[in-house]
Structure 1
Amino acid sequence: MAEIKYEIKQNLGIVSEGAKGWTKELNLISWNGREAKYDLRDWAADHQKMGKGVTLSTEELRTLKEILNGMDELQ
């Protein structure tokens, strides 16, 4: 399996922190030298290990923001 290379260009915020010190973060990340995209996933404190997450383009993030802004209240 090929090695995945990534570079965190900007940390936009921490959404939550788990009991073992991992944090769920929204970051702007370049994967394998490509254009940076928005990424939400769990990270170990040293950012050497990561959990599964979701990567979004700018347009997808804007659409998600519109959906969230349109919610009257959380279920």
Structure 2
Amino acid sequence: VWLSVSGGEEMKNANPNLYQKLLSGPHNPQIAEIIRTDLPRTFPDNIFFNNTVNHQHQLYNILLAFAHQNEAVGYCQ
């Protein structure tokens, strides 16, 4: 429901490969390094993110894609 109400579904349908494009494109190495540094400190008590490489990698991808799509915002923990 939220995806539809928020307009996210329409945006996803308009550009279905955007997430993959953002991940496969060039990355700002400074942003990538800051995200890598912050990941172990992000939700340290949450079982989905503490020392779970796969979940941390998924979060890394989301944060990196967001930072590159929204350059005015960038990344900040």
* TM-score bucket (shorter structure): under 0.3
Relative contact order: is structure 1 or structure 2 higher (C-alpha 8 Å, sep ≥ 6)? Answer: 2
Return the TM-score normalized by structure 2: 0.25
The structure with the greater share of residues assigned to strand is: 1
Return the TM-score normalized by structure 1: 0.26
The structure with the greater share of residues assigned to helix is: 2
